[in-house]
Chains A and B, each alone.
Chain A
Amino acid sequence: MTSKRKSTALTEAQCVSLAQKILRERLCQQRLPEQPVGLESQYRHLLELLKRTAVHGESNSVLIVGPRGAGKTMLLGCVLRELMNLKEVLKNVLQVELNGLLQTDDKIALKEITRQLHLENVVGDKVFGSFAENLAFLLEALKSGDKSRSRPVLFILDEFDLFAHHKNQTLLYNLLDVSQSAQAPVAVVGLTCRLDVLELLEKRVKSRFSHRQIHLLNPLSFTQYVEAVGSQLSLPQDFPHPKFCDEWNRSVTKLCEDKSVEELLRRQFNSSKDFRSLYMLLFLAVIRVSPSHSTLRESDLLEASRLISADSKANILHGLSVLELCLIIAMKHLNDTYDGEPFNFQMVHNEFTKFIQRKSHTIHKFEKPVVMKAFEHLVELEMVRAVDSATGKVQREYQLMRLMLEHGQVMEALQKYPQCPTDVKQWALSAFA
């Protein structure tokens, strides 16, 4: 199939789908890059550390700390990839991967460790013995090891802070204790997004941790950010259709220099520097490319950014009926007059009937149960929320509520509301209803 593609020229449609496939892998599946960008010193530090464990049998512990989407797993993945390429490492290292979200207590974590190490109490994929026996067995196994003869074990603890919430922190104590005593060589690598992770550790656990922390905080400048966008979007040189590839890459370069795109990226950069949200934006743009327009255009990016930055509550407001909108305006007025004090349905209803009687000619008078139903609908959408959740004790009409909307959100929604009656708009604008 591929040889056929190379011999005969690809059609436009095939090129587009292939390009999309490549970019999708890059943006959604978190493929490891050739080399981590902007993390050289951290990369070297971690690589040296793990290499010493693997080659010299020195036990170590390290924490990788950085906000979400800063590339912690990527860094570790790149380091491990390079480490495993060394000949003297590949067959001499055991690897145990744990995740705080999966191994929610020490019992499960211990079974997982035993399973991944293929200790003797594993039959097939099942681990036998009680929790206490498993722990004793694992510790005995690690204790029997020795620095220069037994294989080093790399323990990778993803979501490290969740392991600190386990009972007595037994697992952490034991792993770190092994790393600080003359037993089998281990390296404990923790990944976390909490900067205060060391404060979670118990005193004796903390004392056994080596206090090495690798921080991934990206001091990226805007120009570097735009460069990263360019390199993420361009197609590789070995793309089977060179002409399409050239055209695509040229369009990407042009796109990065475009004023409105720059403004959009600047906005994204200002709100967050993490790459995961950027990839989401680029992904939404890339999937809009089709055979009818085969290169990325600025309108694709603008549309993607519009989708991403939409305010979720404003979207809900657009879908409300006029009656529900009127109730929200009534609540806004109550908030304004009584300075954010909670209200109940009865007050909202009074406000609403006052409006109907005095001002409105377009909205006919609704029965009270109908208004109640609309109010309940708003409660279901969590636009309105009960102050205390003691349900059942108070009648529905008299339960104290709060509006979960900003002043600005209501006004903006009114501006955009399709065919909003004029007197409702005027009512919303008038300060004293």
Chain B
Amino acid sequence: TPRHATPSIPSRSAPARKPGNVLEEARARLHVSSVPESLPCREQEFQDIYNFVESKVIDGTGGCMYISGVPGTGKTATVHEVIRSLQQASEQDEIPQFRFIEINGMKMTDPHQAYVQILQKLTDQKATPDHAAALLEKRFSAPAPKKETTVLLVDELDLLWTRKQNVMYNLFDWPTRRNARLVVLTIANTMDLPERIMINRVASRLGLTRMSFQPYTFKQLQQIITSRLNRVKAFEEDALQLVSRKVAALSGDARRCLDICRRATEICEHSAGLQKGSGLVAMSHVMETLDEMFSSSYITAIRCASLQEQLFLRAVIAEFRRLGLEEATFQQVFVQHQALCRVEGLQPASVSEGLAVCQRLGSCRLLLLEGSRLDLLLRIRLNVSQDDVLYALKAD
């Protein structure tokens, strides 16, 4: 890598087009990336984290906090918001100065790279992982320069697991040093991560300051969308409610909710192009979107399969029924397949053709197959429920 390279993406010759109509405006606002200034429905969590960090910064002590919750519940965004408002506060001299550093377990190739990234962000030095660990150890054992607190955010904590757990141990041990003035905020998905994967001396250093983010309820999701749209009138009230209820029932993931809304505006735009409609996203558009994003495609795939493929699926089920098992070898299924061919008045397929049909179904995962080297003896299982197959085959 060149010494003083500034990594960048080349810029475009003409700037990007600005949103033209209401729907495009709504779509830009609904994009997951346009995070609002303050997150709605996370006021309590915001306050808790804020108080924790603020008190540590003011006292000049260190500490750890563990934040958990399923993906898409606003963990990282809330922490960022906390840091933003703390930075504002420190600019107005309400609280002492502090530094903010962020690392993400998924954005490094190996847990030990964490040392390298922390060191680089702290002091702009480049070092090997071992050297960086030693330097950081020295830095946090000695009194902090300028008596400045460092706030370290560790996202995707579970990826920092190593067999000896020394990376995690160090991360949680440094704040306990007398003059280190380090606050570590850790984020992961599972609530019981400390108990599950950490050995005792690591878990005890992490401490008991924990917080969990609950999945969003439908009311909260609705509020999030409304606040994002911010008086841009693009959705009917019922349509919003349907989206949020549907997502809340499944996962409570805000990202999913926003993506569905965005897709619904596209569908609305397209159908408005065909017939001059109201231009508002209606119930029908949302229904269509939900259908598209949630429905499994297995049934359509079976309906669109060729006749031999459909017969083969039928033969698989017939053989399962005969054996009373959920597994059969190709040889057994093939006998049924040939019988079915005769019943349907088709010319029976040869073994090679039968195998090809079977492999095609296996490659799109309607069937689960063993390796094709086993030839006649390869075992077949269904990847869909028998009822789905029968339903798909019956309806036409």
Point out residues on A near B: beta carbons under 8 Å.
44, 48, 55-59, 65, 67-68, 88, 91-92, 94, 106, 117, 119-121, 128-129, 131-133, 135-142, 144-145, 147-153, 168, 170, 173-174, 177, 180-185, 193-196, 203-204, 206-208, 210-213, 215, 217-219, 267, 269-274, 309-314, 382, 385, 402, 404-406, 408-409
When distances are taken between beta carbons in the complex, the residues of chain B under 8 Å from A212 are: 259, 263, 293
Task: Decide if B106 touches A174 in the complex (CB within 8 Å).
Answer: yes
**Interface check B79, CB cutoff 8 A:** no
Residues 89 to 145 of chain B near chain A (Cβ within 8 Å):
106-110, 113, 116-117
**Interface check B7, CB cutoff 8 A:** yes
CB contact between A196 and one of B2, B106, B365 (< 8 Å): that residue: B365
CB contact between B308 and one of A119, A208, A270, A311 (< 8 Å): that residue: A270
Q: A182-B35, A207-B256 are in contact. List 14 more A-B contacts (CB 8 A).
A: A68-B363, A92-B13, A131-B109, A135-B108, A142-B9, A149-B12, A149-B15, A151-B12, A182-B34, A207-B253, A210-B259, A213-B293, A311-B353, A406-B376
CB contact between A94 and one of B10, B34, B189 (< 8 Å): that residue: B10
Tell me the count of chain B residues lying within 8 A, CB to CB, of chain A.
81
Task: Decide if A311 touches B360 in the complex (CB within 8 Å).
Answer: no
Measured in the bound complex, the distance between the Cα atoms of B353 and A301 in whole Å is 18
One of B176-184, B202-210, B299-307 at the interface: B299-307
Measured in the bound complex, the distance between the Cα atoms of B375 and A386 in whole Å is 13
**Interface check B46, CB cutoff 8 A:** no
CB distance from A274 to the nearest CB of B (A): 8
When distances are taken between beta carbons in the complex, the residues of chain B under 8 Å from A408 are: 338
Task: Decide if B72 touches A217 in the complex (CB within 8 Å).
Answer: no
Measured in the bound complex, the distance between the Cα atoms of B28 and A185 in whole Å is 13
When distances are taken between beta carbons in the complex, the residues of chain A under 8 Å from B293 are: 211-213
**Interface check B19, CB cutoff 8 A:** yes
When distances are taken between beta carbons in the complex, the residues of chain A under 8 Å from B357 are: 271-272
CB distance from A105 to the nearest CB of B (A): 11
When distances are taken between beta carbons in the complex, the residues of chain A under 8 Å from B5 are: 120-121, 137
When distances are taken between beta carbons in the complex, the residues of chain A under 8 Å from B14 are: 88, 92
CB distance from A277 to the nearest CB of B (A): 9
Task: Decide if B9 touches A151 in the complex (CB within 8 Å).
Answer: yes
When distances are taken between beta carbons in the complex, the residues of chain B under 8 Å from A406 are: 331, 334, 351, 376
| CB nearest neighbor in B for A136 | B117
CB distance from A399 to the nearest CB of B (A): 16
When distances are taken between beta carbons in the complex, the residues of chain A under 8 Å from B9 are: 94, 117, 141-142, 144-145, 150-151, 153, 184
When distances are taken between beta carbons in the complex, the residues of chain B under 8 Å from A119 are: 7
When distances are taken between beta carbons in the complex, the residues of chain B under 8 Å from A409 are: 351
One of B52-60, B193-201, B221-229, B342-350 at the interface: B342-350
| CB nearest neighbor in B for A161 | B365
When distances are taken between beta carbons in the complex, the residues of chain A under 8 Å from B307 are: 269-271
Measured in the bound complex, the distance between the Cα atoms of B338 and A311 in whole Å is 15
Q: Can you list 26 pairs linking A and B with CB atoms under 8 Å apart?
A: A44-B270, A58-B31, A92-B12, A121-B5, A135-B107, A137-B1, A144-B8, A150-B12, A151-B11, A168-B159, A170-B107, A170-B109, A180-B255, A194-B365, A203-B71, A204-B106, A208-B255, A210-B262, A211-B259, A267-B347, A272-B308, A402-B377, A404-B376, A404-B377, A406-B331, A406-B351
CB distance from A139 to the nearest CB of B (A): 6
Task: Decide if B304 touches A219 in the complex (CB within 8 Å).
Answer: yes
CB contact between A55 and one of B17, B110, B376, B383 (< 8 Å): that residue: B17
When distances are taken between beta carbons in the complex, the residues of chain B under 8 Å from A139 are: 107
When distances are taken between beta carbons in the complex, the residues of chain B under 8 Å from A131 are: 109
**Interface check B70, CB cutoff 8 A:** yes
| CB nearest neighbor in A for B254 | A207
CB distance from B22 to the nearest CB of A (A): 15
Task: Decide if A312 touches B109 in the complex (CB within 8 Å).
Answer: no
